[in-house]
Amino acid sequence: MTSSLKERLNYDKTFDCVQCGYCLPACPTYETMEKETHSPRGRINLVKMVAEGKASVEDLKEPIEKCLGCMACTTVCPTNVQYGEIFEGAKRVIDEERPRRLVEDFLFQSFFPSSKWMSTLGNATWLYQKSGLQKVSQRFGLTKRAPLQIHEFEAALPSMPTPKKRRRERVDRYVRKRPAVAKIGFFKGCVMDSVFFETNQNTVELLLRSGAEVVFPEAQTCCGALHAHTGKVDQSVELAKRNIEAFEEEGFDYIVNNAGGCGARLVEYAHLFDEGTEWYERAERFVDRVRDISEVLVGLDGLAFEKELSRTVTYQPSCHLRNVQKVTSEPLDLIKRIPGVELRELERPEFCCGSAGVYNIVNYEDAMDILDVKMQDVCGTGAGGVVTSNPGCQLQMKLGVEREGLQMEAVHLVDLLMEADPRPKW
Amino acid sequence: MEKWLEELQSLLPEGRVLTSLADRHSYSFDASFGEHLPDAVVQVKEKLEVADVLKLANRYKVPVHPRGSGTCLSGGPLPVHGGIVLDMSQFPAVIDLSPRDLTVKVTPSVLTGNINKAAEKHGLMYAPDPSSAHVATIGGNLAENSGGPRGLKYGVTKDHVLGLEVVTPEGEMIKTGGQTIKNVTGIDLTKLIVGSEGTLGVIVGATLKLMPKPPAVQTIMVAFDEVRKAGEAISQTLTSGILPAKMEFMDQACIVAVENFQPVGLPVDAAAVIIIELDGHPETLRVERGLIEEIMEEMGAKEIIIPKSDEEAAKLWHARKQVSPAIAKIKPTKVSEDATVPRSKIPDFMDRLELIKEKYGLEVVAFGHAGDGNLHPNILCDKRNVEEMKLVEKAVEDMFQAALDLGGTLSGEHGIGTMKAPFMELELGEIGLDMMKRIKDSWDPNGILNPGKVFPEKGQKLVLHHD
């Protein structure tokens, strides 16, 4: 490693923090873990201490690993501290000092970037559900013995379409006979396109009915969010380059995704490169066109909802959609357009649900403490369903509903919109 | 492990005595200057635990530094002598309103802003409104005697406290004052403890005074092309029979910093602006607004801006709140003072600041609650630059001298803490300071409660640089 520890830890950026503490009320882990050590201000200070040699990387490990990365702090920070960059720098330094683990290397180097593997995951999920294996293992409590509380999460997985159906229903190009109102490059996402295949199909359908043309650029790959969150910055940069290239092939008006977590990564691609470089410019052009599905649907305004759904819902925004992509009003706007749907907003929508990428798997107990706070708010609304805008949040909310023993649905915004039978306005 | 630490751990439930390096570093700072590593952080959740910790500290002569949310701007919670940081922020937060008495009982960990929110549901208000009210605890506000913009009309924290529950430095529980508006029984220990910066006791409960919430507010912003004119306009307003709730001042550097940071459309070509808030009945506000417009025109205002909606007014106040963070963008280190002068001396104080700025060639900006003479001159510097920091030390000294020359005081609302301690004698005189110290010594014979604050140590000087 050529750069110094201070550089890698973004030491200079820690001076933007004036330690005013305004981030404390916004931080979910400060609330549930009750310690300054698990607050943004505490973490930034520790990064500074490590850079100055007053504490070790080992001291930094727990506080950084217990950070959700929800970025709620950045929305209230009065001095605009680049917490995301400080956080990722710290993750990277911690990762570099850790002994390598084979499974993890496989997951991040081969599994997530590979659409083949992701498709296999989708197939395996389907097989698991349809073969009765799910029932068998649940009955014998096999999943309960699996590490990392997998049983809790697998119960929350959506029902999977067959591999055949997935192949049949998916084409890479949805062209229109009439002139399209917009040409869209669809960023499909790894988990979204395997486990949440139906949601992706619904997204395409909504775009088509809005009058757009949709293309799945073949060379696209994983967004790299999970890599960046776990300190694998170099791999994250590689994936970013591949995606930038993939979406340069055609002149898209928008690069659309439907997973808050992926979108947040995509909009930050420019930060991965040095200003003034060619890749920086290319990344900027890419970022300028990245949109969440809700933004595009509101912008195109091409749908009229035919079916009245009689229900009350609340909306749990994906932190990465709200705090990083700064998309706040569009999902609410869309929900309000559905006839018969009553929206009851959360008291603290900005509070993370505890899903946070792989946080709820790696830090299960802590994630559940955070989920409990969230569920109190959800229950307080008296709504019959929770609408989300990111797959991780959706699974987490399903888990929350189950833990509370409630009869409540958790759906992706896109799926809810499709249920209301949207028709083209034109 | 040291014996006191072992005993401390056996006193409290598991997990509430923090000793890891990461935890200790996390309580080594506040929002002011300097970093001091404690030996342990103790998170107390009951009054008796506070008493137990203090008794133990007396036996072993270990310093105890009480801390709320650590938003202090004068170093109040810094463990300058190591030992224990007593984290009061995790104490159960209870707000017990008595709307018919216009009072509220609170525990120390309650966030100050939440008291006002709870009061508003009953048409009442808790008047002190420090900018950090949504983060800071009432315990910290009481200890530091915090102010806020509304201080102009409503005073600071001490003007709203009826009674306290306090654990003495030796670990005994006492009550001071009571729950009545009038109470002249004996020496006023409540006022003695409020603002004592954690040196005379640990506040574990308080009864606060509420007042009726004014039915309406009116914001007015006035721009001037000369700083002195702005200062004179403030004096003129305050002697005209109108008492606004707030009268805030921003100089050009602050205006520009805010506009660069989060633009709201402030007049960047103005030398200074005053933002005024009137509160009261809508009829009164209409009349007072007219009078203020007349005064400002007479005083040669460049522009008078009346916000058209509540949202527009909120934007202006938000801009005012952004000053402190926005100016931190000019240079990374902010040395923030709150020296206060008699209101009529505001223009003179501004002139003196200008001279200090020129003398040292430093970046000095000024904003704050000019209506009550409580200006916040801020020096923007870089603590990594030793030479610059030495100049800052001298400039700060000059600022204090200027405030005192004009009949003012070292601190209007932030407290003395560590940084202003060396200047105490300048303001109070030798005997005055000694009388204060005698009170401290008799309350805290072992000197374990928040040592290193308020009172200067022998030969202590203001030091902002590290060689």
Please report which confidence band the pLDDT of residue A142 belongs to, taking 50, 70 and 90 as the band edges: very low
* Shared domain check, B260 and B205: no
Q: How far apart are CA B205 and CA B107, in angstroms?
A: 5
Boundaries of domain holding B294: 215-327
| pLDDT greater than 70 at residue A342 | yes
* Shared domain check, B66 and B32: yes
Whether residue B70 and residue A63 make contact (CB cut-off 8 A), yes or no, is no
Residue A147 is predicted with a pLDDT of 42
Of A96, A127, A146, the position where a domain reaches its end is A96
Q: Which of A358, A357, A314, A352 is nearest to A336 (CA)?
A: A314
Residue B204 lies in a domain: yes
The arithmetic mean of pLDDT across residues A14-26, rounded, is 94
- Convert the pLDDT of each residue in A49-99 to its tens digit: 999 999 999 999 999 999 999 999 999 998 889 999 999 999 999 988 876
Residue A122 is predicted with a pLDDT of 57
Nearest to B334 among A18, A59, A60 (CB): A18
Of B59, B87, B115, the position where a domain reaches its end is B87
What's chain B's average pLDDT?
94
Q: How far apart are CA B361 and CA B392, in angstroms?
A: 10
- Residue A120 vs residue A336, higher pLDDT: A336
Which residue of chain A comes nearest to B331, CA vs CA? A16
The arithmetic mean of pLDDT across residues B175-179, rounded, is 95
Q: How many other β-carbons are positioned within 10 Å of the β-carbon of residue B442? A: 9
| pLDDT greater than 80 at residue A101 | no
Whether residue B22 and residue A16 make contact (CB cut-off 8 A), yes or no, is no
β-pair type (A341-343, A311-316)? parallel
Of A66, A96, A126, the position where a domain reaches its end is A96
Q: B107: left (phi > 0), else alpha (psi -120 to 50), else beta?
A: beta
Total domains, chain A: 2
Residue B352 lies in a domain: no
- Convert the pLDDT of each residue in B318-367 to its tens digit: 899 888 878 888 888 888 899 999 988 988 998 999 999 999 999 999 99
Whether residue B29 and residue A19 make contact (CB cut-off 8 A), yes or no, is yes
Please report which confidence band the pLDDT of residue A360 belongs to, taking 50, 70 and 90 as the band edges: confident
* Shared domain check, B307 and B224: yes
Residue B236 lies in a domain: yes
Look up the CATH number of the domain holding residue A53. 1.10.1060.10
Residue B31 has phi, psi (to 5 degrees) of: -85, 10
Burial class (CB in 10 A: 0-12, 13-18, 19+), B168: middle
Residues in chain B with CB shorter than 8 Å from the CB of A10 are none
User: What would the two tokens of residue B282 be?
Assistant: 């809508």
* Shared domain check, B287 and B204: no
* Shared domain check, B279 and B251: yes
Residue A66 has phi, psi (to 5 degrees) of: -90, 0
Contacts of residue B342, Cβ cutoff 8 Å, sequence gap at least 6: B373, B406, B407, B408
The residues in A 117-176 lying below 8 A from B, measured between CB atoms, are none
- Convert the pLDDT of each residue in A369-418 to its tens digit: 999 999 999 999 999 999 999 989 999 999 999 999 988 999 999 999 99
For B350, the 3-state DSSP assignment is: helix
* Shared domain check, B203 and B141: yes
Residue B465 lies in a domain: no
Residue A254, beta-bridge partner list: A184
Residue A221 lies in a domain: no
**Helix B3-11 vs helix B47-60: crossing angle, to nearest 10:** 170
* Shared domain check, B258 and B151: no
The arithmetic mean of pLDDT across residues A136-142, rounded, is 51
Amino acid in position B39: D
Return the percentage of chain B with pLDDT > 70, whole number. 100
Q: How far apart are CA B367 and CA B258, in angstroms?
A: 12
Helices (H), A248-292: 260-266, 278-289
Residue B43, beta-bridge partner list: B87
Are A122 and A195 in contact by the 8 Å Cβ rule? The answer is: yes
Of B327, B355, B386, the position where a domain reaches its end is B327
Which residue of chain B comes nearest to A42, CA vs CA? B26
Q: Classify residue B187 by its DSSP letter.
A: S
Handedness of CA A381, B122, B371, B391 (dihedral sign): negative
The arithmetic mean of pLDDT across residues A334-342, rounded, is 96
For A256, the 3-state DSSP assignment is: strand
Whether residue A19 and residue B329 make contact (CB cut-off 8 A), yes or no, is no
Q: Which of B185, B176, B270 is nearest to B226 (CA)?
A: B270
CA distances from B121 to A8, B99, B110, B135 (A): 49, 10, 17, 20
Residue whose tokens read 């290239």: A245
Whether residue B71 and residue A21 make contact (CB cut-off 8 A), yes or no, is yes
* Shared domain check, B323 and B235: yes
Q: Which helix (H) or strand (E) holds A242?
A: helix A233-246
* Shared domain check, B264 and B159: no
Of A78, A96, A114, the position where a domain reaches its end is A96
- Convert the pLDDT of each residue in B21-38 to its tens digit: 999 999 999 998 889 999
Whether residue B43 and residue A20 make contact (CB cut-off 8 A), yes or no, is no
The arithmetic mean of pLDDT across residues A157-181, rounded, is 74
Total domains, chain B: 3
CA distances from B204 to B10, B88, B117, B191 (A): 22, 9, 21, 15
Here the ipTM equals 0.93
Please report which confidence band the pLDDT of residue A256 belongs to, taking 50, 70 and 90 as the band edges: very high
Burial class (CB in 10 A: 0-12, 13-18, 19+), B6: exposed
Q: How far apart are CA B100 and CA A137, in angstroms?
A: 62
The arithmetic mean of pLDDT across residues A164-170, rounded, is 71
Are A416 and A338 in contact by the 8 Å Cβ rule? The answer is: yes
The arithmetic mean of pLDDT across residues A138-165, rounded, is 60
Q: What is the DSSP string of B94-148?
A: -EEEETTTTEEEE-TTSBHHHHHHHHHTTTEE-----TTTTTSBHHHHHHHT---
Residue B295 lies in a domain: yes
Amino acid in position B449: L
- Convert the pLDDT of each residue in B391-406 to its tens digit: 999 999 999 999 999 9
Q: How far apart are CA B151 and CA B173, in angstroms?
A: 31
| pLDDT greater than 70 at residue A299 | yes
| pLDDT greater than 90 at residue A190 | no
* Shared domain check, B146 and B60: no
Residue whose tokens read 């910066």: B197
Residue B369 lies in a domain: no
Are A72 and A51 in contact by the 8 Å Cβ rule? The answer is: no
What order do you get walking across the sheet with B246-251 strand by strand? B303-305, B216-224, B272-280, B246-251, B363-369, B374-381, B333-336
Residues in chain A with CB shorter than 8 Å from the CB of B325 are 18, 20, 78-80
Q: How many other β-carbons are positioned within 10 Å of the β-carbon of residue B248? A: 24
- Residue A195 vs residue A414, higher pLDDT: A414
Whether residue A35 and residue B132 make contact (CB cut-off 8 A), yes or no, is no
Residue A196 lies in a domain: no
* Shared domain check, B238 and B219: yes
Residue B193 lies in a domain: yes
User: What would the two tokens of residue A64 be?
Assistant: 């950084």
For B192, the 3-state DSSP assignment is: helix
| pLDDT greater than 80 at residue B260 | yes
For A103, the 3-state DSSP assignment is: helix
Residue A145 is predicted with a pLDDT of 42
Q: How far apart are CA B423 and CA B433, in angstroms?
A: 11
CA angle A105, A56, B24 (to 5 degrees): 125
Q: How far apart are CA A328 and CA A350, in angstroms?
A: 10
Please report which confidence band the pLDDT of residue A133 belongs to, taking 50, 70 and 90 as the band edges: low
Residue A72 lies in a domain: yes
Q: What is the CA radius of gyration of chain B?
A: 22
Distance from CA of A231 to the nearest CA of B (A): 20
Return the percentage of chain A with pLDDT > 70, whole number. 84
CA distances from B436 to B181, B345, B455 (A): 27, 28, 9
Boundaries of domain holding A377: 304-424
Residue A226 is predicted with a pLDDT of 82
Distance from CA of A425 to the nearest CA of B (A): 35
Q: Which of A29, A37, A52 is the best substitution to test chain B (most B C-beta atoms within 10 A)?
A: A37
Q: How far apart are CA A257 and CA A223, in angstroms?
A: 11
Of B212, B227, B242, the position where a domain reaches its end is B212
**Helix B386-405 vs helix B346-360: crossing angle, to nearest 10:** 150
Residues in chain A with CB shorter than 8 Å from the CB of B22 are 37, 46, 55, 59-60, 62-63
User: What would the two tokens of residue A347 be?
Assistant: 């008291």
The residues in A 64-103 lying below 8 A from B, measured between CB atoms, are 78-80
Side-chain-facing half-sphere of A33: CA atoms under 13 Å: 24
Q: How far apart are CA A279 and CA A285, in angstroms?
A: 10
Q: Which of B21, B331, B384 is the best substitution to test chain A (most A C-beta atoms within 10 A)?
A: B21
How many Cβ pairs within 8 Å bridge chains A and B?
A: 83
Whether residue A45 and residue B22 make contact (CB cut-off 8 A), yes or no, is no
Residue A290 lies in a domain: no
Q: What is the CA radius of gyration of chain A?
A: 21
Please report which confidence band the pLDDT of residue A134 belongs to, taking 50, 70 and 90 as the band edges: low
Residue A234 lies in a domain: no
| pLDDT greater than 80 at residue A48 | yes
Contacts of residue A45, Cβ cutoff 8 Å, sequence gap at least 6: A14, A17, A19, B25, B26, B28, B29
Residue whose tokens read 């500290």: B57
Q: B14: left (phi > 0), else alpha (psi -120 to 50), else beta?
A: beta
* Shared domain check, B54 and B72: yes
Distance from CA of A295 to the nearest CA of B (A): 24
The arithmetic mean of pLDDT across residues B283-311, rounded, is 95
Q: Which of A408, A396, A416 is nearest to A293 (CA)?
A: A416
Nearest to B325 among A36, A55, A79 (CB): A79
Amino acid in position A342: E
| pLDDT greater than 90 at residue A2 | no
Residue B96, beta-bridge partner list: B105
Buried b (16+ CB within 10 A) or exposed e, A4-39: eeeebbbbebbbbbbbbbbbbbbbbbbbbbbbbbbb
Amino acid in position A384: G
Residue A290, beta-bridge partner list: A255
Q: How far apart are CA B163 and CA B178, in angstroms?
A: 5
Residue A65 has phi, psi (to 5 degrees) of: -65, -25
Residue B252 lies in a domain: yes
| pLDDT greater than 90 at residue B465 | no
Residues in chain A with CB shorter than 8 Å from the CB of B27 are 36
Are B272 and B223 in contact by the 8 Å Cβ rule? The answer is: yes
| pLDDT greater than 50 at residue B138 | yes
